[in-house]
Amino acid sequence: MKIKISNIKINSGRRSTDQQNVEELVKSIKAVGLMNPITVTQDNTLIAGLHRVEAAKLLGWTKIECTVSDAEGIQAELAEIDENIVRARLSRYELGEQLLRRKEIYETLHPETRHGMRNGQTAKDVNLASLETKSFNEDTSEKLNMSKRSVARLVQTARDLTPEAKKIIRDTDKKITKGDALKISRLPPDQQEEAAAVLAAAPPPQKKQTMMDGEAALTEFKAICRRYTSGIESLYNQMDIFAGLTTFQFDELSDSAYAVTNAIKEFFQEVNAIRHEGENDNEN
């Protein structure tokens, strides 16, 4: 169905559009048409597609194709945040703020996932369904293809930085790294602004990673993989023993194997995030 563009409501707190993105969409829509409709709530509040709406305005459209979602209120806001994170070119500062708000909404919808709600509770206090609900970090990691560690660090930084420190970091986003911003957020509030100002005024650090450093890291990783592969191969001689394990012992074995593979997966997610961060810095 189509909706009048003039009837679309846009939340006041929504992030602004990227003009370059809008202009690219205009060219794309001229060439192949609008491939994906926007998404609105039943009262015409925009959930996803602000850049598409702005492109349609530049094209002189009065109506635009839309999908009407059943989501309302904070569920609609959650959908909007996920759309922003996946599609928009967010800075580290903006990403952290979006994730912090996502955490607030998610834990409002699922209060049983808040820190401390699971541990120490008795069966009388909590039901099985609540225990099966994923934590915010788990849900966000899976839906947005980020490591749980990255999610936790970005949220902590956005939550604990003072407004003054945030402003300095936002204004020098490419100069103060994610790691430095996290360290500043862990300082007492009265020390954060000064620490951020010192980093902002400092000359950019020289890159430490050289080709030799990379070769050494690669050699070390290959050695770890060889030891891991060799260890797995040696286990084949004990397959009959493993086959005779009790269910409890086999579950322990599976948990250990999962922990290893999950650690490797998170390592590569972290590395990939750093690589993309460097690529974005070069583009800008």
- pLDDT for the residue numbered 281: 47
The DSSP secondary-structure symbol of 9 reads: B
What is the reported pLDDT for 224?
Answer: 82
Residue 132: the pLDDT is: 66
Phi, psi of 173 (to 5 degrees): -55, -35
**92 class by beta-carbon count within 10 Å (0-12 exposed, 13-18 middle, 19+ buried):** buried
For 54-76, what is each residue's pLDDT tens digit?
999 999 999 999 988 876 778 88
Helices then strands, counting H and E runs in the chain, come out as 13, 4
Overall size of the chain counted in residues: 284
pTM, two decimals, is 0.55
Of 8-12, 43-47, 128-132, least confident by mean pLDDT is: 128-132
187 secondary structure, DSSP code: S
* Residue 47: strand, helix, or coil: strand
Cα-only R_g, the chain: 24
Tell me the C-alpha distance between 283 and 228, whole Å.
38
- Half-sphere exposure of residue 68: CA atoms within 13 angstroms, side-chain side: 7
List alpha helices for 33-91, DSSP H. Answer: 50-58, 73-87
Q: What is the pLDDT of residue 121?
A: 44
The CA distance from 54 to 46, in Å, is 12
Predicted pLDDT of residue 20: 81
Res. 174 pLDDT band, cuts 50 70 90: low
Q: Which residues pair with 40 in a beta bridge?
A: 46, 68
* pLDDT tens column, 200-241: 887 765 555 555 577 787 788 888 888 877 777 777 778 788
Give the residue-averaged pLDDT of 247-266: 77
- Between 98-102, 120-124, 176-180, 272-276, the lowest mean confidence (pLDDT) is in 120-124
Most confident of 33-37, 111-115, 227-231, 238-242: 33-37
Selected residue with higher pLDDT from 7 and 221: 7
